[in-house]
Structure formats: structure tokens, C-alpha cells
Amino acid sequence: MSEKRATRAAYGPTLVELVQEGLDVVAVDADLSGSTTTAVLGKSYPERLFNVGVAEQNMIGVAAGLALSGKIAFSGSFAVFGTGRAYDQIRNTVCYAQLDVKVAPSHAGISVGADGGSHQMLEDIALMRVLPNMRVLVPADYVAASAALHIAAHTSGPFYVRLGRAATGPVYSDRSSVRLGRANVLRSGNDVSLIACGAEVEQALAAAEMLEGAGVSAEVIDAFSLKPLDDETILDSVSKTGWAVSCEEHSIIGGLGAAVAELLAAHPGIARRGQRFIGVADCFGTSGQIDELFAKFRLDARSIYDVVVN
């Protein structure tokens, strides 16, 4: 399928699938079930959707209680509220007790667009990655988002699944090719390793096409599973190419780039030419159209190309 779809669009339909598979899934939302698409679950199974209103901390508390009663509890809201406003509850209630709560908010990253810096959550991966017992998945397209939700539902314990508002092109055709702890080599190359996640996978693939025209062979890796990270695939690639360019729609502090840097620092000599970072510098976002914002914050394919050739 060539149609562009937002990763958030997979949320509600996949929750319905999980219930139909026989899993005891529920969702708790904070007055945003239309935007997060958990309303799709509520339409099919109204007894399985709990809307707590604009009360994100309570949302996580209710999800924790449902998990303690034996449910597989998913939470909604926007990423800026669903992780930032409810951080204490995620840390001390969900992760500390290793509860079966899946934090899966939408509208992550700069691609929230016109809503501006107050709603463009650029720190969520860092917040979730540092938490003990939390697994972090960042799907690149609709199929990967559905796979991430299946993985979270079928694996006990806390998960963070990062979902976006913007429609992205298809990367995967088969849900089974996306797995916990695995990074996928989407394009083989010998000159540079482009390691991306989320919406940046599409940009990295486009950059690789541009680089081929300039005589540069770029390997593109989808680091879908950011925690646990697929150390072997990344190290194999960088040992071949000699350097890495991490690409993420997130702050360059604490996200995918930091995870790759930590890995390479533990294996000195592999990245012979070092690492470069594509991501948002230490700043807030701003209002604008998505394409404008990707260009402004140097997240687009052209910016990746420029970093490699310059």
C-alpha cells in the first residue's frame, strides 16, 4: 500500500484487533480519544474505554489500577501531556511496580505542526528511555505502529510506544518483520550508516536516494526498538561504514542519537569517523507547516544529505 497514513491512525483499530484476538485490553484516555483514535475501541467495545477527562496523572493511575486487576491497560493523550504531565505516575506507579501499562500517546515530535512549541514534545524518548523496566518503541509507519502495539500487548510490563500526527509513507508491508530488540536494515550501503527512527526513517531513505546520485552508498537502519537497542546490527553496520548519522524527530539530547553514542563509546575504534546528529538542537519547536518545520530544524532529507557530503 502506497498511501500515507499517520502512526496514530493504527492505535484504535489495533486495540480492536487485540480484543478480537482474546486479549483483555482496555484503554484510558484524557479527553482526546478522537485525536488518539482510542475512540475506535470505544465504538466497538464501549466498556473497554475509560475517558477520565483532562487529568493525565489520573489517567495513568486508573490504567495502573486496571493493570493490577488483570487488564492490559493502554493510555492515550498527546505525548507532551501523556509523558510530561504524568511522569511521576509513570515512574513511581507503573515502572517501579512493573505494571502491565502501555503508554502510547500520539502527537509526538515537531510534526504536530501548527500547534507550536507548547505541544511539540521533543523530550519524551529521553524521559521514557531512562526509566528502569520501560521498553521504548518508535514506529516509522502505520504497519510498524500496529506491530508495536501488538508487541506491547503480548509482552508483560511497561512500554512506551511513540505515535505521531503526520502521515508518513509506507516502510513495511508485513507486521512480522518488526520485532522487539531488533533494528532493520532497510537499505544496504558501505559509506555511511544512517540510523533513524519514527518519521525520520522516511527522510533517511529519501536522503539515501539523493546520496546515491552523488556517489555515496548509504546504509539505512530503522532503529524501531530504541530500548532495548539492537546493538549487534548497529555495530555491524558502523564497523563496515566507519561512521554513523543518527536521525530523529526529537531533541539530540537523550534520544536515539544519545543511545547510539553510548553504544559506540562502549566499543572504541568502531566509529572511525565518529558520529553526526540529526535532530532538534537544545530548543523548543515553533508553529508551522510540517514540511517547513522539517526544513527549519534540519530534519529533512536534504539536511541529512548535507551532513553526509559536507
Contact 25, 18 (CB under 8 A): yes
Contact 190, 154 (CB under 8 A): no
Cell numbers standing for residue 123 = 523530550
Distance between CA atoms of residues 73 and 63, nearest Å: 5
Other C-beta atoms closer than 10 Å to the C-beta of 188 total 11
Q: Does residue 56 have an active-site annotation?
A: yes
Cell numbers standing for residue 144 = 510498524
Q: Which of 3, 47, 56, 219 is catalytic?
A: 56
The residue among 89, 24, 26 whose CA lies nearest residue 55 is 89
Q: With 0-12 CB in 10 A as exposed, 13-18 as middle and 19+ as buried, what is 88?
A: exposed
Cell numbers standing for residue 31 = 479527553
Please list, in sequence order, all residues whose beta carbon lies within 8 angstroms of the beta carbon of residue 225, skipping any fewer than 6 positions away: 135, 136, 137, 179, 180, 181, 182, 183
Q: For the chain, how big is the Rg over CA atoms in Å?
A: 19
SS3 state of residue 303: helix
Distance between CA atoms of residues 30 and 48, nearest Å: 14
Which residues does the annotation mark as catalytic? 56
